[in-house]
Amino acid sequence: MARLVDLVIPLLVMLAACQKESKLYCDQNPGQDGCPDPDASGSSRPACSASPDCKTAELPVCDTTKEGGQCVACTQADHGACGGMTPRCENDSCVACIDDGDCPSSVCLLNGACADAATVVHAVATGGASTSDCGQPLPLGQGACTLEQALSNARGKGPTVIKLDDNATYAPANNNFRVEPDADIVLDLRAGATLTRRSTSDGAVITVNGTGNASGKLTMLGGTISGGHSGGSNPGDGVACTSNGPLIIDQTRITANDASAINTTSCTATITRAQIDNNNQTGTLTPAIRISNGSVTLVRSTIQNNRGGGLDIGSATFIVVGNVFAGNGSTGNVGGITINTEETGNRLEFNSIAENKSQSLVAAGLSCAAGPDFVAANNIIWNNNSALTATSIQVSGCRQRYSDIGPTTFSNALDAGNNKNTNPMFVNATSDLHLTAASPLSDLAADSQASITGVASLDIDGNLRSVPATMGADQPRAN
């Protein structure tokens, strides 16, 4: 009997080992008893010693630093399966690009894909070529273009990227960067470029035109727009748009223009992560952003120290979420925000509006007429004042809910529920509207039913909003 036991026990051990080596066992017990760990999709990553060992298109690269070698989608040294909408490699997985350095074409588009190199026209600040075939770096093409030639080469040729390669100031010879109705242009200034006017003649730095059913289309990435001059009949705006668009502006600073930073009529404007500051310091008062008809989406942007006021919306639809309005306005009709529209489907939420000024009897924080059903929410509107008298009107018109408004009291007619009247304790009320660690708003949450997805998912710094969200543009990390 002892000999039988001696034979049976090794046999059971062998059978157990065989069971654990089977595909069925490993499928049911991933990562155990020598079975491979699953990847993000739940399937086992094949072992490897070099990339030729990896036979699947989804996992073509061997990462030899992982458990003796695993087949993965990509590594930093070999982007393997990455491309299309996921050209960047991060943690052995293909993801969207986040900057130009992620792309062979040196242009990362807003949708996370890299631009096709064949659509990119390169321009330099000095010494560029003025030929119809310029724009591709040597030896592929005829070298980079002048800015004027790059714009000319882009017209009528479908979507085209104009990449300003130099960390320098570009000034078109004819003073105006003009996007015609037949043009669809991505203007990439991420290298640190500044676009301005060459002389002090009046007019905008950038003009986007439309005529009839034809629309000029412009997407602007990074950089600085400065130097629009007023003098004659043409306002000195940073960007002027009379096209259905779209006009898209992302991470661009627009500063020191004589009139508005952005002035649109019947445009579809989307402005994200922009810095709009110190415009309209002299001359006729004009707001930093002026929207007439059309639509505007303004998200996670800072509008600060603009003499003519912050944002003026007339007869347009709007989504204004997660922005800072600080120190705008003077004796004009626009302090932080003025809205006058009968359009519906609008949103004004998670904004911080402080220390803006306007003329007497005009609400310096938010002057709003957007229909009887419109309700703004989750905003901080604090210490906005008249530039002429001691009278302080924070809000007029639109109802508010889950907002912090003061320090003066506000009409109960505006209180749709759960509004507050407490000092938000900004880091600096005129220049930095982040909340201090001692801010009482950390314990006075925004509406728990508010949507914090889409345009409201991130705060002014890119931090993820979470429940309970905080009123205003800043979601402190501690929350």
- pLDDT for residue 100 is more than 50: yes
State the pLDDT confidence band at 360, using cuts at 50, 70 and 90.
Answer: confident
- Which range is most confident: 138-152, 363-377, 405-419, 443-457? 363-377
Average pLDDT on 86-96 reads 95
- pLDDT for residue 3: 41
DSSP, collapsed to helix, strand or coil, labels residue 454 as: helix
Which amino acid is located at 329 in the chain?
G
What would the DSSP string read from start to end of 369-438?
Answer: E--TT-EEES-EEE--EESSSS----EESSEEES-EEESS---GGGBSS--B-----EEETTTEEEEPTT
- Which range is most confident: 170-184, 291-305, 416-430? 291-305
Torsion-angle region of 418 (φ positive above 0: left; ψ -120 to 50: alpha; else: beta) = left
> Is there a contact between 122 and 145 (Cβ–Cβ < 8 Å)?
yes
DSSP, collapsed to helix, strand or coil, labels residue 225 as: strand
Average pLDDT on 459-471 reads 94
- pLDDT for residue 78: 94
Q: Per-residue pLDDT tens for 12-27? A: 333 344 344 443 444 4
Q: Over the chain, what is the mean pLDDT?
A: 87
Average pLDDT on 189-215 reads 90
Measure the CA angle with vertex 380, ends 420 and 249; round to 5°: 160
- pLDDT for residue 327 is more than 50: yes
What stretch of H or E contains 5?
Answer: helix 2-21
CA distances (Å), origin 111, targets 5, 87, 199, 251: 67, 11, 36, 14
ω into 407 cis (within 30 of 0) = yes
**How far apart (Å, rounded) are the C-alpha atoms in residues 61 and 51?**
5
- pLDDT for residue 10 is more than 80: no
**How far apart (Å, rounded) are the C-alpha atoms in residues 472 and 378?**
6
Which amino acid is located at 151 in the chain?
L
Burial of 198 from C-beta contacts in 10 A (0-12 / 13-18 / 19+): middle
- pLDDT for residue 413: 56
Q: Per-residue pLDDT tens for 152-161? A: 888 767 789 9
* β-sheet bridge partners, residue 464: 458
- pLDDT for residue 264 is more than 70: yes
> Is there a contact between 129 and 146 (Cβ–Cβ < 8 Å)?
yes
**How far apart (Å, rounded) are the C-alpha atoms in residues 175 and 15?**
83
Which amino acid is located at 231 in the chain?
G
State the pLDDT confidence band at 45, using cuts at 50, 70 and 90.
Answer: confident
Rounded to 5 degrees, what are φ and ψ at 154? Answer: -85, -20
**How far apart (Å, rounded) are the C-alpha atoms in residues 39 and 36?**
9
- pLDDT for residue 211: 80
Least confident of 7-16, 44-53, 353-362, 388-397: 7-16
- pLDDT for residue 153: 86
State the pLDDT confidence band at 39, using cuts at 50, 70 and 90.
Answer: very low
- pLDDT for residue 138: 65
**How far apart (Å, rounded) are the C-alpha atoms in residues 368 and 405?**
15
- pLDDT for residue 304: 98
**How far apart (Å, rounded) are the C-alpha atoms in residues 149 and 135?**
9
pTM score of the predicted model: 0.88
Rounded to 5 degrees, what are φ and ψ at 119? Answer: -95, 0
Average pLDDT on 239-264 reads 96
Measure the CA angle with vertex 318, ends 315 and 321; round to 5°: 150
Buried b (16+ CB within 10 A) or exposed e, 331-340: ebebbbbbbe
Q: Strand runs (DSSP E) across 134-189, as ranges?
A: 160-164, 169-170, 177-179, 184-188
- pLDDT for residue 479: 47
- pLDDT for residue 238 is more than 60: yes
What stretch of H or E contains 336?
Answer: none
- pLDDT for residue 16: 41
Any idea where the domains of the chain sit in the sequence?
44-96, 98-284, 300-479
Average pLDDT on 250-257 reads 98
- pLDDT for residue 1: 43
Provide the residue count of the chain: 479
Percent of the chain at pLDDT > 70 equals 88
- pLDDT for residue 351: 98
CA distances (Å), origin 139, targets 102, 132, 149, 188: 22, 16, 19, 22
- pLDDT for residue 262: 98
Q: Per-residue pLDDT tens for 417-452? A: 689 999 999 999 999 999 999 999 977 788 888 999
